[in-house]
Structure 1
Amino acid sequence: MSAHVRDRLAELGLALPSVSPPKGVYVPAVRSGRHVQVSGQIPMVDGELTAVGRVGAEVLPERARELSRQCGLAALAALDAVVGPATLVRVVKVVGYVSSAEGFTRQPAVVDGVSELFGAVFGDAGRHVRSVVGVGRLPLDAPVEIEVLFEVAD
């Protein structure tokens, strides 16, 4: 991750977390040419899930929005582990999965947490296309899961 990005994170009072070890047979991120695809990130700190449950039931939507931001920081850490100081060209796509209670329909507002993070850190390069999906349950009973596609310089 470039020094500029680390400085911007510090200005926002944020820092990259450690990359959490995968909970299955996969890697956190893969570079293919100028793109880095980051596996779905759930809200983990030091390998431990920070919240469980469905949004709109056990987890308040405002808390889930914070958790999606936490997932975005984890995605940046996974990106950093693969490309190091390479220059980010742009955030291409975000896919957000929200474990939703019956009748909960504000999934886009939950995933706005990560979208706003990328905008604050990268400016226009943080604007991206996005899909948001409400699901019954996520792995380990996580409330949110975020996957990201980044473009980096050669």
Structure 2
Amino acid sequence: MTDPYAKLAELGLELPKVSPPLAAYVPAVRSGNHVYVSGQLPMVDGKLLATGKVGAEISPEQAKELAARCALNGLAALESLVGLGKVARIVKVVGFVASAPGFTGQPAVINGASELFGEVLGEKGRHARSAVGVGELPLGAPVEVELIAEVVAD
């Protein structure tokens, strides 16, 4: 069984503080054995790491790294609500990519998030997923990632 805290340390990653919501919502909500994590932007210390459209101002490779940061922020939201040790599995991930006209590489971009979940949680990080191209995201962010996790019963 993968220890998510040990994997984070092995990867040289630390869970950040949860960014305060930008509007009228909460970072994560538990309902039964599921936690719904609100869309996470690529924020560090309350600041957006980049702005722009993927395929124009932002390269697909940079966007993939930003998607991984969104995933790390999502793990932080899970940690703050229930703790990563209670995660039974990541059930579903939805990734949004602010896309330049003609950009069709959304799945490769959102692989940044999917791969991070797999690295940190092992088999528990494998999930169903959607990768969606959009015209705009909050604050001009290039990517946003939301997720649903199943957690062990209390």
State TM-score, norm by structure 2: 0.96
Aligned runs of 1:29-48 on 2, under 5 Å?
29-48=28-47
Task: Tell me, in whole angstroms, the C-alpha distance in 2 between the residues paired with 1:34 and 1:103.
Answer: 40
Q: Which residue of 2 aligns with 1:9?
A: 8
Q: Which residue of 2 aligns with 1:25?
A: 24
* Unpaired segments ≥5 residues, structure 1: none
Maintained 8 Å contact 2:67/2:144 = yes
Aligned runs of 1:1-154 on 2, under 5 Å?
4-84=3-83, 86-154=85-153
What are the superposed Cα offsets for residues 87-131 of structure 1, whole Å, 9 maximum, x if unpaired?
A: 210000000000000110000000000101111111111110001
**Alignment partner of 1:76: what SS?**
helix
What are the superposed Cα offsets for residues 41-93 of structure 1, whole Å, 9 maximum, x if unpaired?
A: 01011111110000000111100000000000000000111113642100000
Task: Tell me, in whole angstroms, the C-alpha distance in 2 between the residues paired with 1:151 and 1:52.
Answer: 32
Maintained 8 Å contact 2:4/2:85 = no
Number of residue pairs aligned between Structure 1 and Structure 2: 152
* Unpaired segments ≥5 residues, structure 2: none
Instruction: Tell me the amino acid that sits aligned with residue 3 of structure 2.
Output: H
Task: Tell me, in whole angstroms, the C-alpha distance in 2 between the residues paired with 1:51 and 1:147.
Answer: 18
Cα drift, residue 12 of structure 1: 1.1
Cα drift, residue 5 of structure 1: 1.3
Judged with a 3 Å threshold, the aligned counterparts in structure 2 of structure 1 residues 126 and 107 are, in CA distance, closer, same or farther, namely: same
Task: Tell me, in whole angstroms, the C-alpha distance in 2 between the residues paired with 1:59 and 1:124.
Answer: 31
Question: 4+ residue runs of structure 1 moved beyond 4 angstroms?
Answer: none
Instruction: Tell me the amino acid that sits aligned with residue 152 of structure 1.
Output: V
Judged with a 3 Å threshold, the aligned counterparts in structure 2 of structure 1 residues 117 and 85 are, in CA distance, closer, same or farther, namely: closer
**Alignment partner of 2:103: what SS?**
coil
**Alignment partner of 2:132: what SS?**
strand
Identity %: 62
Cα drift, residue 29 of structure 1: 0.2
State TM-score, norm by structure 1: 0.96
